[in-house]
């Protein structure tokens, strides 16, 4: 990939940020398909985990991921909406960190996302006990081949985490000199600046 068009150009770098995040959603092979979502634990200590990036809306500054509403992260984000999402694409040598405030949707607002969810993904939400529950027998909640579950089974556990991004941090690793830029949403527009990498 030629980097000439964005290497020393802040506006073009911001374009790259959104393009790369968008590719994470559209392309299963993108390094940004899976991202790290950090939240604040209920005891005030950090929590971070991998999640699939499911949606990007540049105009609304939104990043969307899906989770089980019974999972600890749901309670954590309900209590403290501040989150950070970190993505790294090793082929592009690009890290993007997005900081913002997350809103949780479980009811009608989550419906379009549930409708678009593949049957394989829905199976996670049918598990009878909450994610993270202790198990004596690790096979106890394995998917069963029969009987066929109703398509909407698990819907009540499905939730959408929608992060409105307020700060973006771009880091591009290049042998001739790394580039790092920060973009802050301020007075209705992105304000960018270069940072020491
Ligand atoms: C590659 C990968 C993708 C994952 N995607 C998701 C996801 O999209 N949503 C999710 O809730 N958990 C996902 N997980 C599981 C989480 O990392 C985590 O183990 C689980 O959600 C429990 O997190 P919590 O205890 O912090 O709530 C994924 C894990 C891996 C390894």
> Across the chain, what does the average pLDDT equal?
95
Q: Is the pLDDT of residue 144 over 80?
A: no
Query: Atom 5 of ligand 1 has which residue's CA nearest to it?
Result: 51
Mean pLDDT (whole number) for 112-134: 90
Pairwise CA distance, residues 86 & 120, whole Å = 25
Distance 186 CA to ligand 1 centre (A): 32
Q: When comparing pLDDT for 124 and 11, which is higher?
A: 11
Residue 125 has pLDDT above 70, yes or no: yes
Q: Cα–chain-centroid distance for residue 51?
A: 6
Give the pLDDT confidence score for residue 128 in this predicted structure: 85
Listed by start position, the domains of the chain span 10-125+154-195
Give the integer Cα–Cα distance in Å for 157 and 143. 16
Q: What is 10-125+154-195's CATH topology?
A: Pnp Oxidase; Chain A (2.30.110)
Cα distances (angstroms) measured from residue 153 to each of 77, 145, 185: 25, 15, 39
Distance 50 CA to ligand 1 centre (A): 5
Mean pLDDT of 170-174: 98
Query: Is pLDDT at 62 greater than 80 in this prediction?
Result: yes
What's the pLDDT at 194? 98
73: Cβ below 6 Å to ligand 1? yes
Any idea which residue has 């802050």 for tokens?
184
pTM: 0.96
The reported pLDDT for the residue numbered 146 is 64
Q: What's the average model confidence in pLDDT over 59-67?
A: 97
DSSP classification of residue 54: -
- Residue 158 has a CB neighbour count (10 Å cut-off) of 22
Listed in order, strand segments (DSSP E) in the chain are: 34-40, 46-52, 55-57, 62-68, 82-89, 94-105, 158-172, 179-186, 189-195
Q: Which atom of ligand 1 is nearest to the CA of 54?
A: 8
CA dihedral 139, 145, 148, 154 (to 10 degrees): 30
Is residue 170 within 8 A of residue 107, CB to CB? The reply is no
Write down the H helix ranges in the chain.
10-26, 72-79, 111-115, 119-126
Q: What percent of the chain has pLDDT over 70?
A: 98
């Amino acid at each position: 990939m030629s980097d000439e068009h964005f290497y020393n150009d802040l506006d073009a770098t911001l374009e790259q940020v959104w393009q790369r995040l968008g590719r994470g959603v559209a392309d299963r092979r993108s390094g940004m398909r899976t991202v790290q979502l950090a939240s604040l634990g209920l005891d005030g200590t950090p929590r971070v985990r991998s999640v699939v990036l499911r949606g990007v809306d540049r105009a609304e500054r939104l990043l969307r991921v899906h989770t089980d509403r019974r999972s600890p992260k749901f309670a954590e984000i309900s209590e403290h909406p501040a989150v950070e999402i970190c993505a790294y694409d090793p082929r592009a040598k690009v890290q993007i960190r997005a900081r913002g405030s997350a809103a949780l949707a479980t009811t009608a607002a989550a419906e379009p996302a549930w409708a678009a969810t593949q049957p394989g993904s829905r199976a996670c939400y049918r598990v009878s006990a909450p994610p993270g529950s202790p198990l004596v027998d690790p096979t106890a909640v394995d998917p069963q081949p029969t009987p066929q579950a109703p398509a909407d089974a698990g819907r009540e556990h499905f939730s959408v985490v929608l992060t409105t991004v307020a700060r973006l941090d771009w880091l591009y690793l290049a042998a001739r000199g790394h580039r790092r830029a920060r973009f802050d949403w301020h007075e209705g527009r992105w304000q960018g600046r270069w940072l020491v990498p």
